[in-house]
Amino acid sequence: MASYFDEHNCEPLGENERPNEQLLLARLLVDSGIANALNLSFEDLSSQNLSPPISKIWLKEEFPKYCFSESDKCGHKCPICLIAFEEEGQTRAVKIPNCGHIFHCDCILKWFEKTSSCPLCRFELPTDDPSYEEFKRQKKREKIRQQEIEDLHNSMFS
């Protein structure tokens, strides 16, 4: 028999760890439809606007895979320092997965200390903050649910 935690797709709390009450309350309000009735979205109920710093594990394991030596004399500038890639001394560049925006490694690493999103398009990379990751999952869930409702409605008329 699957354990309670497997069945609910969650993990037991560690020692000294407390449940994230705000997140649970937000989810309860959204799932029960009360939030809808009050015209509140999940974003309104969550206090987190800016994504937290980037995941250290991701930086160690994934980040180097996207780094390369910029030798392309295309005249592109790093959007953070505004210095052209081919200018001397600053040649290590990184291409962010998914959005493909290119920055100097040193520049983007400094930005990632603050937040995990791309400075150009806000595409979000993983963070080490469990409640923020949960918030992201919840947003995704909400989107999928909305799509499903829409599909259901559409299927009735086709």
Partner 1 sequence: MASIASARIKREFREVVTSDELTRCKIKLELLNDNFTELKGEIGGPPDTAYEGGTFQLEIKIPETYPFNPPKVRFLTKIWHPNISSVTGAICLDILKDQWAAAMTLRTVLLSLQALLATPEPDDPQDAVVANQYKSNNKIFLKTARHWTNVYAGSTSAAEPEFDSQVKKLVDMGFDSHKSRVALSSHLWNVEQAIESLYD
Contact region for partner 1 (CB under 8 A) — 18-26, 59-67, 112-120, 129-137? 112-120
Distance CA 144, CA 110 (A): 34
Contact region for partner 1 (CB under 8 A) — 5-13, 19-27, 92-100, 104-112? 104-112
Helix (H) or strand (E) holding 144: helix 130-156
Minimum distance, C-beta of residue 59 to partner 1, in the bound complex (Å):
17
Q: Is 82 in the site for partner 1 (CB under 8 A)?
A: yes
Minimum distance, C-beta of residue 26 to partner 1, in the bound complex (Å):
19
Token duo for residue 46: 């969550």
**Whole-number Cα distances in Å, 7 to 3, 31, 112:** 6, 19, 35
Q: Is 105 in the site for partner 1 (CB under 8 A)?
A: no
Distance CA 136, CA 126 (A): 10
Q: Is 65 in the site for partner 1 (CB under 8 A)?
A: no
3-state SS assignment for residue 95: strand
Residues at the site binding partner 1, with contacts judged by CB under 8 A: 49-50, 79-83, 107, 110-111, 114, 117, 119-120, 122
